[in-house]
Chain A
């Protein structure tokens, strides 16, 4: 018997790996010092620990130790990059390029910068979720200071051609930032080989704790400087003041170490489970469509639209399975997923989408259970669906005059 509820929402967050929790525990009550305390052993002791963590994290992405700074998470890192670069390089230019499928931490921050006089280009994406490199090239201007393109998408898992994007940026002397919250620890990332100047990452997406994350800031060729958005004691090379979250940093470093060690084995295991789930659903359920590129995608991601049923209604049919939907009813804005709309999917298909996120602790029994429940759930709602009935009657839904509300 499968233990319920089944968690299949690993893009939202991940459980802390027990090995990570164990590593963190001494840093709450025993080794509680402030890493900025320069004149006693409590401080020295944890400062050394923090620097070891910083080195380990830097190594995981091919960076130098001093190029990694700690923040509260990827949202803060993204804010710091965009606002910090726009402020620092205001004299060089006011143009930023990003993509329509970025995380809200990028899009909303860009919108804020626009209100402050910046100009932002939001690149469209292709049907498979990838950006078009020629369009990126065409969007570059003499006053472009930054290109920000995520490494892997949080909804459809699509992995962008980071190395090529970085190369284009460097040809034009533009800084390249990538939000790697979903990618670091899941796919190989190397800031030198991939021409990355700034990289945001997060603890809780990689089986580490919430409330900790970081930012890689290139120091040489080219040196990148950011104006701080958090002012105070001048921690983290002046870019991010605030007492360091030592237990969080220890957890983040440990979590990333485990990801790096186990990446190959873990990826193939998760991919096999994901493929089993995806193939079964697409085969057994008619009018179901995969969203995003089939191969250039995180192994734990599967985003499928089940046409003629609505996502939130469908999730109610599988109450003991935790997944996400691109349906408007599940978002605060009452708008269907902007990521799926950017792919060119109709609103209707966006409403009908379910995002499955598989991860470290997903089992084959769980996958079998989800397949069974999903097939039954879609059938239940299709039996209730006037759209499905019309389609079976041979009516083209595009020719119907709907009473929109």
Chain B
């Protein structure tokens, strides 16, 4: 199976690799996937007010999973929290030209974005903790 040029680009030059301080009030952390399934994504966003000013990721998984999370961080930076909620896995599939067997990588990336946003929301309003 050949990889698309965009997947190869993100794999070879991953954007925004790293970690943010997960205990900080303005940092949301999302960890999705499981080691036994072969992929785990950690995606973190840092906000100033309503704006995402930084995003970092680390991913254990195949090239498409790494590319999907790298792309997600690229897209997240500069967006408002509301705009970030709009990112869909299908957008990632289209951008990276993922084949059907790799769609789950984009689903995971969308899940990581949601989880990071949820974490941020919980930190802002601890009462909602049980709801999520």
Interface set of A (CB-CB < 8 Å, partner B): 308-310, 312-313, 316, 327-329, 334, 336, 346-348, 351, 381, 383-389, 397, 402-405
Contact across chains for A310 and B31 when beta carbons are under 8 A apart: no
Minimal beta-carbon separation of B89 from chain A (angstroms): 12
Query: 8 additional contacts, CB 8 Å, given A347-B37, A404-B33?
Result: A313-B66, A316-B63, A346-B36, A347-B36, A385-B59, A385-B60, A404-B36, A405-B33
* Closest residue on chain A to residue B104 by CB atoms: A405
Complex CA–CA separation, A348 to B35 (angstroms):
5
* Closest residue on chain A to residue B3 by CB atoms: A316
- Name the prevailing secondary structure of the B interface residues: mixed
Q: Which residues of A have CB within 8 Å of B35?
A: 346-348, 351, 387, 397, 402
* Closest residue on chain B to residue A383 by CB atoms: B17
**Which residues in window 22-79 of B have CB below 8 A to A?**
31-42, 58-63, 65-66
Minimal beta-carbon separation of A396 from chain B (angstroms): 12
Task: State whether the Cβ of B81 lies closer than 8 Å to any Cβ in chain A.
Answer: no
Task: State whether the Cβ of B107 lies closer than 8 Å to any Cβ in chain A.
Answer: yes
Contact across chains for A336 and B38 when beta carbons are under 8 A apart: yes
Contact across chains for A384 and B36 when beta carbons are under 8 A apart: no
Which of A312, A313, A388 has most B Cβ within 10 Å?
A: A313
Pair count A-B, CB < 8 A = 90
* Closest residue on chain B to residue A348 by CB atoms: B35
Given A313-B61, A384-B14, check contact A402 B34 (CB 8 Å): yes
Complex CA–CA separation, A387 to B3 (angstroms):
25
Complex CA–CA separation, A404 to B39 (angstroms):
10
Complex CA–CA separation, A351 to B42 (angstroms):
18
Task: State whether the Cβ of B108 lies closer than 8 Å to any Cβ in chain A.
Answer: yes
Minimal beta-carbon separation of B121 from chain A (angstroms): 17
Q: Which residues of A have CB within 8 Å of B58?
A: 384-386, 389
Task: State whether the Cβ of B131 lies closer than 8 Å to any Cβ in chain A.
Answer: no
Contact across chains for A313 and B37 when beta carbons are under 8 A apart: no
Minimal beta-carbon separation of B15 from chain A (angstroms): 12
Contact across chains for B40 and A386 when beta carbons are under 8 A apart: yes
Contact across chains for B40 and A313 when beta carbons are under 8 A apart: no
Contact across chains for A389 and B38 when beta carbons are under 8 A apart: no
**Chain B interface extent, by class:** 20 to 34
* Closest residue on chain B to residue A346 by CB atoms: B36
Q: Which residues of B have CB within 8 Å of A328?
A: 37-38
Complex CA–CA separation, A348 to B33 (angstroms):
12
Contact across chains for A386 and B41 when beta carbons are under 8 A apart: yes
Given A316-B11, A334-B101, A386-B42, check contact A404 B37 (CB 8 Å): yes
Complex CA–CA separation, A388 to B62 (angstroms):
15
Complex CA–CA separation, A403 to B111 (angstroms):
10
Contact across chains for A310 and B107 when beta carbons are under 8 A apart: no
Given A403-B31, A405-B107, check contact A310 B101 (CB 8 Å): no
Minimal beta-carbon separation of B65 from chain A (angstroms): 7
Q: Which residues of A have CB within 8 Å of B14?
A: 384
Q: Which one of A308, A381, A389, A403 contacts B32 once the chains associate, using CB atoms below 8 Å? A: A403
Contact across chains for B36 and A348 when beta carbons are under 8 A apart: yes
Q: Which residues of A have CB within 8 Å of B60?
A: 308-310, 313, 381, 384-388
Contact across chains for B11 and A310 when beta carbons are under 8 A apart: no
* Closest residue on chain B to residue A404 by CB atoms: B34
Q: Which residues of A have CB within 8 Å of B101?
A: 334
Q: Which residues of A have CB within 8 Å of B33?
A: 402-405
* Closest residue on chain B to residue A319 by CB atoms: B8
* Closest residue on chain B to residue A382 by CB atoms: B60
Minimal beta-carbon separation of A128 from chain B (angstroms): 22
Task: State whether the Cβ of B90 lies closer than 8 Å to any Cβ in chain A.
Answer: no
Complex CA–CA separation, A337 to B46 (angstroms):
39
Q: Which residues of A have CB within 8 Å of B19?
A: 389
Given A334-B101, A384-B66, A389-B19, check contact A402 B40 (CB 8 Å): yes
Contact across chains for A310 and B34 when beta carbons are under 8 A apart: no
Some 13 contacts from A to B, beta carbons below 8 A apart, are: A309-B60, A313-B11, A313-B65, A328-B38, A329-B61, A347-B38, A351-B38, A385-B60, A389-B42, A397-B35, A404-B33, A405-B37, A405-B111
Contact across chains for B61 and A310 when beta carbons are under 8 A apart: yes
